[in-house]
Structure formats: C-alpha cells, structure tokens
Copies of this chain bind each other. A is one copy, B any other.
Amino acid sequence: MPITHITRRERFSAAHKLAKEEWSDEQNMEVFGKCSNPNWHGHNYQLFVTVKGETEPSTGFVVDLSALGDLIKERVISKMDHKNLNLDVDFMKGKMTSTENIAIAIWDQLYEPIKSLGAELHKIMLQETENNYVEYYGE
C-alpha cells in the first residue's frame, strides 16, 4: 500500500520564560534578552503533528484523524493550553522552555500512543510566532 504522511494541527496559548533559576535577572537578560522577562510572557503556539504509514485500503486512512486529534488533546493540549509551560506542565519540569525543547518533549508524549493507533510519528512542528518554528524528527 502507498505510504502517505498526514498532519493534524492543534493550538495552545501559554505563558513561559527563558531563564535559569540560579542566575540573576541581569544575567538572564544578557543571555535570553526579552524572553527572560521575570513576570513571564506568552504565545499562541501552533502544533503540527505528522504521522506516516500505509493507507488502509478499506478506509483510505493512514490513521483516524479524529482519534489522532483526541490523543493530541489528551496528551498535550489539555496540559499546555492556558497554562504556564515552566510551572504547570509535568513533562517540562526542570527544562528550558525553548521551542526546541517543547517540540522534543511533545514528541516523547506522543510517540508511543501514536504507535497504538497503528501509525508512526514522523515529525513534530511547533510554531511559536509567525517568524519562527521548530521541526523535530526524533533523531
């Protein structure tokens, strides 16, 4: 059967900052600039989850998109939307909340569950603003 990639977009709005707790505000400002604002800032993140697999002949689906959407909502969106990524999200604890690290952490949240849908996670794409996004392929 032909192999296709299918992508589902979900969104979340969250607060975060880039700062090391052991550094002073001045040191953080020097390295992370305005992203280290002590009182936080935030974004409308767009998350694109791409899975890969053979199309199932009777449905023409790689994966049931609605089941994939539910899984992303359960494992990621419900934990990140309208939250503080540094303080409220269990799987970000102790990590810098750079877009790179968030994308990697979302991969880890979704990789096994997507297998149980019969498909394979191919890529996490996470867009922080209209001017930047990160892609992670599990490498």
Contact = CB atoms under 8 A, between A and B. Distances in A.
A76 interface: no
A40 B34 CA distance: 17
27 contacts: A3-B137, A4-B135, A5-B137, A6-B100, A6-B132, A6-B134, A7-B133, A7-B134, A8-B131, A8-B132, A9-B132, A11-B129, A11-B130, A13-B41, A14-B41, A18-B60, A32-B59, A37-B84, A37-B88, A40-B42, A41-B84, A43-B44, A55-B101, A60-B96, A60-B97, A60-B98, A60-B100
Count identical subunits in the complex.
6
Interface size class of A (residues with CB under 8 A): 35 or more
Contacts of A81: 34, 41
